[in-house]
C-alpha cells in the first residue's frame, strides 16, 4: 500500500466509518434532523449544520489546493457559510454537498503520487502530506463536536 492509499483510507474512515477512535463524521450525523442540525444548544457554539457546511468547504479547499489553486485563509463568511433555509430538503442537500466534497477529494488523492506529498501546496507554507493529515484530523475534531451537540440537543 502506498502512502497516498494509506492517507485516503484514513480520510475515508474519518468520513464514512470504521475509524479506530469511534464514530466517523457520517456515522455521527445519522439520525440528525434538519431541526436538530439547525439548533444551537450551546449559545456560543456553531450548530451541527454550520459544522457540516464548514467541513465541506475545507474538503473542497484541500482538493483545489492539490490541483494547484492558490487559496489562502478564507474570510469568515466562506470559512463558516451561513445556513439559510432550514428545511429537511435543505439539510439533505447540505449532507449531499459534504459527501460530494469528500468524494471529489478522494478522487483527487488517486491522482497524486507519494513523491508529491513532500511538495508544498500553493498558498500556505506546508506540504501536501501535512495538509492531508490535517484534513483527517479536522473531520474527526468536528465529528466529536457534532456528537456533543447531538447530546446537548436531546438533554
Cα angle: 11, vertex 13, 16; to 5 degrees: 105
Rounded to two decimals, the pTM is: 0.95
- Residues 12-44 have pLDDT tens digits of 999 999 988 889 999 999 999 999 999 998 888
Number of residues that this document lists for the chain: 155
Domain boundaries in the chain? 3-154
Confidence category of residue 84, pLDDT binned at 50, 70, 90: very high
What is the CATH architecture assignment of 3-154? Up-down Bundle (1.20)
What confidence tens digit (pLDDT) does each residue in 94-126 have? 999 999 999 999 999 999 999 999 999 988 889
User: Alpha-carbon dihedral of residues 11, 13, 17, 19, nearest 10 degrees?
Assistant: -130
The predicted structure's pLDDT at residue 21: 86
Amino acid at each position: 500500500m502506498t502512502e497516498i492509499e494509506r492517507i485516503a483510507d484514513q480520510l475515508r474512515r474519518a468520513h464514512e466509518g470504521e475509524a479506530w477512535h469511534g464514530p466517523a463524521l457520517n456515522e455521527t450525523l445519522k439520525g440528525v434532523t434538519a431541526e436538530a442540525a439547525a439548533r444551537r444548544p450551546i449559545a456560543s457554539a456553531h450548530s451541527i449544520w454550520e459544522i457540516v457546511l464548514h467541513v465541506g468547504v475545507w474538503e473542497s479547499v484541500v482538493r483545489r489546493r492539490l490541483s494547484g489553486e492558490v487559496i489562502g485563509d478564507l474570510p469568515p463568511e466562506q470559512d463558516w457559510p451561513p445556513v439559510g433555509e432550514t428545511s429537511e430538503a435543505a439539510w439533505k442537500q447540505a449532507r449531499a454537498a459534504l459527501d460530494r466534497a469528500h468524494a471529489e477529494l478522494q478522487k483527487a488523492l488517486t491522482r497524486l503520487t507519494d513523491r508529491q506529498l513532500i511538495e508544498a501546496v500553493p498558498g500556505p507554507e506546508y506540504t501536501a502530506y501535512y495538509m492531508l493529515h490535517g484534513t483527517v484530523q479536522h473531520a474527526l475534531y468536528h465529528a466529536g463536536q457534532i456528537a456533543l451537540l447531538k447530546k446537548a440537543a436531546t438533554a
